[in-house]
């Protein structure tokens, strides 16, 4: 069994995986002010809450896009599991053939998502991660990571509207009943939810035009995938555990010698 942690700008997702079986998952708010000891307490409490014995953990792996928290999370995972985690980054074997201009610029989260998606879904494929930022990754029929797109997520978009315009309020991200909003709040919600759904559909159309063929799979993950993707017109798989499964696969490729069976 391994502990996998994926740290994003808004949430930290962690899970205990026993092979392909996920023993438990949890989502925590990303707090850059918390110390390693505070995160260790939270992680240990989650093991207790789900009645999972920490002594069963043979290893750990961490993916983080929050550089100022990476060391605190690494230390917390070591404290809880007594195993030094693998940190996804330069020098880690992933099996992904990265064809962008500078492979070193590719974020750990995009690498992890690509590893899981290429193992689980037919190619060519498009991966969307919908959260603070929306990211799109494109994998061709040969499994090569071609690149993608980065956009402001729904929450960032509506918060920017509220901050930049004096008459627009802060709103909750709920799906309105109609695309044509009849008041300010429903109109903003329509733009955030239906607008991002249309963006996802439209981007896939343009990817197919550039590839010169239909994609075999479109998969979405991230905290807002469950809100946006049901409004899309394309068939898109929502995979909430994509990142954890990708971390497990990368762990297996880089398993420490002492943890091998």
- Given its phi and psi angles, is residue 82 left (phi above 0), alpha (psi -120 to 50 degrees) or beta? left
**DSSP 3-state of 112:** helix
Cα separations (Å) of 259 from 2, 58, 60, 128, 248? Answer: 10, 6, 10, 33, 14
In terms of DSSP bridges, do strands 217-221 and 125-130 run parallel, antiparallel, or are they unpaired? parallel
Nearest alpha carbon to residue 224 among 133, 158, 151, 140: 133
Active site positions, annotated: 109
61 bridge partner residues: 4, 86
In degrees and rounded to multiples of 5, residue 16 shows phi and psi of -105, 125
Are 229 and 129 in contact, with CB atoms under 8 Å apart?
no
Position of tokens 């985690």? 85
The DSSP secondary-structure symbol of 85 reads P
Give the H/E segment covering residue 6: strand 2-7
């Amino acid at each position: 069994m391994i502990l996998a942690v994926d740290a994003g700008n808004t949430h930290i997702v962690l899970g205990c995986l026993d092979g392909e079986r996920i023993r438990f998952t949890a989502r925590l708010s990303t707090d850059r002010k918390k110390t390693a000891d505070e995160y260790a307490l939270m992680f240990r409490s989650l093991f207790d809450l789900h009645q999972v014995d920490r002594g069963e953990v043979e290893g750990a792996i961490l993916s983080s896009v929050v550089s100022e928290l990476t060391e605190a999370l690494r230390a917390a995972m070591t404290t809880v599991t007594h195993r030094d985690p693998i940190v996804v980054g330069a020098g880690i074997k992933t099996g992904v053939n990265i064809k962008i201009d500078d492979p070193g610029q590719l974020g750990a989260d995009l690498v992890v998502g690509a590893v899981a998606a290429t193992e689980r879904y037919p190619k060519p494929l498009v991966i969307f991660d919908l959260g603070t930022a929306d990211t799109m990754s494109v994998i061709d029929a040969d499994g090569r990571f071609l690149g993608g797109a980065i956009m402001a997520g729904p929450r960032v978009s509506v918060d920017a509207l509220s901050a930049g315009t004096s008459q627009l309020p802060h709103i909750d991200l709920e799906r309105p009943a109609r695309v044509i909003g009849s008041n300010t709040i429903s109109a903003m919600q329509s733009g955030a939810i239906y607008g991002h759904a249309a963006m996802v559909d439209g981007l896939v159309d343009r990817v197919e035009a550039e590839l010169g063929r239909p994609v075999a799979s479109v998969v979405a993950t991230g905290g807002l995938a469950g809100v946006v993707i049901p409004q899309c017109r394309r068939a898109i798989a929502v995979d909430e555990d994509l990142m954890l499964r990708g971390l497990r696969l990368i762990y297996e490729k880089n398993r420490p010698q002492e943890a091998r069976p």
